[in-house]
């Protein structure tokens, strides 16, 4: 099938994503490696410095940062050498997490490029941290939303709230448009083939 004949990628509706997220759920631990050197976990994992040292974690993303949530912060990790990135986000479908997608993806990407290991966590490691992890895989690794969900779900049960899922759908649609060759590029490829 030539690139011109490939079906155009469509972001699935939220109900299909929920079905994918709920299918074949099985118990997962407090922390799981969901991508090479990228872990998703809960608050207890983030507070267990000896566990983090054992995993070799060099960077922490707290998706539930702040005094009203999980108040670790960079000072908590001062004695470990762990670099910290906090996102103060409630697990609420009304909260817009999308403004934090790019900066968090940059933080994770930078850590992995330097051969670091990253823990992304929230309270339970299911919604906020999963959303930021999926956004990273889409923005920096070029995965579609479905591919990102499937990659993470191989290792951990996740379930972003419906508001976060809708934000990921918008990101997916936006990235799909960026990946889609423009008419001009397609015409140029046709000309070069002749």
Domains in the chain (CATH in brackets) are 14-193 (3.90.190.10)
Its pTM stands at 0.88
pLDDT tens digits, residue range 153-167?
Answer: 999 999 999 999 999
Active-site residue numbers?
122
Q: Which of 5-9, 15-19, 76-80, 82-86 has the lowest mean pLDDT?
A: 5-9
Q: How far apart are CA 3 and CA 138, in angstroms?
A: 21
What percent of the chain lies above the pLDDT cut of 90? 76
The contacts of residue 78 (CB under 8 Å, 6+ apart) are none
pLDDT tens digits, residue range 20-50?
Answer: 999 988 888 999 999 999 999 999 999 999 9
Helix/strand/coil percent split, the chain, to 5: 50, 10, 40
Q: How far apart are CA 177 and CA 66, in angstroms?
A: 35
pLDDT tens digits, residue range 59-107?
Answer: 999 999 987 788 788 999 999 999 999 999 999 999 999 999 999 999 9
Task: Supply φ then ψ for residue 136, to 5 degrees.
Answer: -60, -50
């Amino acid at each position: 099938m030539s690139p011109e004949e490939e079906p155009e990628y469509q972001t699935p509706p939220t109900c299909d994503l929920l079905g994918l997220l709920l299918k074949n759920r099985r118990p997962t631990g407090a922390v799981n490696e969901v991508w090479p050197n990228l872990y998703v976990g809960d608050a207890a994992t983030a507070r267990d410095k000896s566990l983090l040292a054992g995993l070799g974690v060099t960077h922490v993303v707290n998706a539930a940062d702040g005094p009203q949530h999980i108040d670790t912060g960079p000072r908590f990790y001062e004695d470990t050498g762990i670099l910290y990135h906090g996102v103060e986000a409630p697990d609420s479908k009304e909260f817009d997490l999308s403004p934090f997608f790019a900066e968090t993806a940059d933080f994770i990407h930078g850590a992995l490029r330097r051969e670091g290991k990253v823990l992304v966590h929230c309270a339970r490691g299911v919604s906020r941290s999963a959303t930021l992890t999926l956004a990273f895989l889409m923005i920096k690794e070029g995965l579609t939303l479905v591919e990102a969900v499937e990659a993470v779900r191989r290792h951990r049960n996740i379930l972003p709230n419906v508001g976060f899922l809708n934000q990921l759908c918008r990101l997916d649609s936006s990235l799909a448009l960026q990946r889609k060759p423009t008419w001009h590029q397609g015409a140029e490829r046709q000309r070069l083939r002749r």
